[in-house]
Amino acid sequence: MPSFLIKVTWGKWQTDEPWLPPGELPANALFDLRFPNNKLSVWSIEDGNTNLDRVIAALAVNKGKTSIDNVDYILLEQMTIEELGIKMEKSRGATPDVSANDEWHFDLIELTVSKIVSIARCIKELEIFRKREPQIKDLIRIGLKGNHFDLNLVDEKLMARIQGLQ
């Protein structure tokens, strides 16, 4: 059964603040769970993580990105999503990797406050993975060699940095 990648920011999920009661999350963690139109963007990761690096590369050059940065993410099991009673639908992603957008992007839909909080509580219990900047640069290089990106969809500032990788 596949898992679903949700991009997060590692520091927002830290629970070592002295003022934070046990079992609670800092409120700013919810900013990682942007849910326009009550939907949350997720990426299907195939068994064996065979498409993981490509999805991460797509997110690393996503619209609005102006620099090459670390990418933090969690992998949420499909079974967990089902157990939470959250519906999912296939949707088109918005990264410069058009093929990845079509193949692996989904939205969690009809989200309520309690469902978002349930997702956040699950994330709190999961390992947060990080691909560091040098790894991201390597993934972008692979994407460039494979012609995975529509470079017309990459921000100008980021494009200048990407061109330096070739």
**How confident is the model over 6-30, as pLDDT tens digits?**
999 998 997 778 898 988 889 999 9
pTM of the shown model: 0.92
CB 70 within 8 A of CB 130: yes
Please name the residues in contact with 31: beta carbons below 8 A apart, sequence gap of 6 or more.
9, 12
Gap between the Cα atoms of 35 and 152, Å rounded:
26
**Which residue from 156, 157, 129, 158 is spatially nearest to 143, judged by alpha carbons?**
158
Tell me, what's the pLDDT at 63? 85
Angle at 93 between CA 150 and CA 48, to 5 degrees: 95
* Rounded mean pLDDT, 53-82: 95
Tell me, what's the pLDDT at 22? 86
Angle at 96 between CA 92 and CA 101, to 5 degrees: 25
Tell me, what's the pLDDT at 57? 97
- Read off the pLDDT of residues 81-102 as tens digits, 9 standing for 90 and up: 999 999 999 999 999 999 999 9
The CB density around residue 61, as the number of other CB atoms within 10 Å, is: 27
Gap between the Cα atoms of 30 and 11, Å rounded:
12
Distances (CA, A) of 51 to 2, 29, 32: 11, 26, 22
Q: Is the pLDDT of residue 140 over 90?
A: yes
- Read off the pLDDT of residues 43-57 as tens digits, 9 standing for 90 and up: 999 999 999 999 999
